[in-house]
Amino acid sequence: MEHTSLLERILRGIALTLVVIFFMFPIVWILMMSFQTNETILRIPPQLVFKPTLANYTALITGKLTTAAGTLDIAFMRNLWNSVFLSVTSVAVALLLGVPAAYAFARHKFRGSEDIAFTLLSFRFAPALLVLLPLTLYFQKLGLANTYIGLIWVYQLICLPLILWIVRGYFEDIPADIEYAYRIAGHSWFATFRKIALPLAGPGIAAAGLLAFIFAWNNFVFALVLASADKQPVTVGALAFITSSGIQYGQISAAIVLSITPTLALALYAQRYLVEGLSLGAVKG
């Protein structure tokens, strides 16, 4: 394997450099734009050296934007809060519903178990709008339109299949004998689940939860269809941002940076589990 020629190593180096530039450049560039004033952004050719300013971030955080035409209220912090709240609650609900179900699917073969598991999985791959468009009409009738509860319920479509299938794999990896031994010692089913199964599957549950969080955070279409401005997460809010007049490009960039930082940070933290999670438990990293 080690007899690679010098030429080949140089070519590999060039190819890798190009790959890294292509995939990292947009993030670096937007990050740089977020520290620039509109004047430096609009300068041609684009500037690589500039005096960084935090003005874009302070405008977003205080929600007050001073322009030549006066002050403008921007509700970006509201969007950010919506994203945090919707993602955290959705994942919590999905864990509460999904982990016991995953345990049941892993440990008990019962009538219809595979059917439920596969229905959930197949809807992971069904077009979102197929379900969302009728739901908008139902939600209006039920009074769930533009409520957090309605949104959290719909977010289960993303979180639940993910958690169910990943955690199920982790439960299946626990040797059943450990659980029998504990049961034979006279402990109840619930105690076994809580004291043996849950701790052993802990890392898997945490990883599935983190991934579900990332997917919930990154979701766009659910909130676009079902939420209006005051309930919208950052993905939808940032889009409204770019079309509204008076907002400057530096602020849009800063909003994008604030919106993608949580998922990027979580992904770096949980990167060990990403391969397994992204393939819904089919590939081990």
Partner 1 sequence: MTAATMQRNRPSGVRISKKVLPYVLSLPALLVCIGILIPFFTSVVYSFQRYRLSQPWARQFNWGDNYISFFTDPRFWNTLEISLLYAGITVLLELLLGLGIAMLLQKRTTLNNFISIMLLMPLMTAPALAALMWKLMTNPGFGVLSYLASLIGLQDFRWASSPSTALFTVVLVDIWVYTPFIMILLLAGLRSLPTQPFEAAALDGVPRSFVFFRITLPMLTPYILTATLFRLLDSIQQFDIIYAMTQGGPGDTLTVFQVEAYLNFFQSTNVGRSAALMIILWAITYFLSNIFIKNWLRLRERARGQA
Nearest approach in angstroms of CB 58 to partner 1 is: 20
Among 81, 195, 239, 246, binds partner 1 (CB under 8 A): 239
Paired tokens of 46: 């684009």
And the tokens for 123? 């809807």
Looking at 235, 247, 251, 273, which residue binds partner 1 (CB under 8 A)?
235
* Among 67, 71, 119, 228, contact with partner 1 (rule: CB under 8 A): 119
CB of 74 to partner 1, least distance (A): 16
Pick one of 61, 78, 89, 172: the residue that binds partner 1 (CB under 8 A): 172
Region from 50-58, 63-71, 84-92, 181-189 binding partner 1, contact rule CB under 8 A: 181-189
In sequence order, the 6+-apart residues with CB closer than 8 A to the CB of 277 are 162, 166, 207, 208, 211, 270
Q: In whole angstroms, give the CA distance from residue 26 to residue 24.
A: 6
Question: Rounded to whole angstroms, how far apart are CA atoms 34 and 57?
Answer: 8
Of 21, 71, 180, 194, which lies in the binding site for partner 1, with binding defined by CB under 8 A?
A: 180
Which residue of 118, 142, 191, 246 would you call a contact of partner 1, by CB under 8 A? 118
Closest to partner 1 by CB, 55 or 193: 193
256-284: burial string, b at 16+ Cβ within 10 Å, e else = bbbbbebbeebeeebeebbebbeebbeee
Query: Taking CB under 8 A as the rule, does residue 52 contact partner 1?
Result: no
Q: How far apart are CA 194 and CA 96, in angstroms?
A: 13
Interior angle at CA 216, CA 273 and CA 100, nearest 5: 65
Among 138, 191, 194, 228, binds partner 1 (CB under 8 A): 138
* Binding test (CB under 8 A) with partner 1, winner from 66, 188, 228, 244: 188
Q: Please give the helix or strand (H or E) that residue 182 lies within, else none.
A: helix 176-184
Q: Interface mask (CB under 8 A) for partner 1, residues 5-24, using x and -? A: -------x--xx--xx-xxx
State the amino acid at position 136 in one-letter form: T
C-alpha torsion angle, residues 83, 86, 89, 94 (rounded to 10)? -110
Which of 72, 75, 128, 198 is close enough to bind partner 1 by CB under 8 A? 128
The stretch among 38-46, 49-57, 59-67, 142-150 that binds partner 1 (CB under 8 A) is 38-46
Binding to partner 1 (CB under 8 A) within 85-104 occurs at 96-98, 100-101, 103-104
Only segment of 56-64, 73-81, 194-202, 219-227 that touches partner 1 (CB under 8 A)? 219-227
Identify residues 55-84 at the interface with partner 1 (CB under 8 A): none
Residue among 88, 74, 92, 126 at smallest CA distance from 246: 74
Residue 123 CA to residue 170 CA, distance in Å, equals 22
Question: What's the CA gap between 229 and 237, in Å, rounded?
Answer: 7
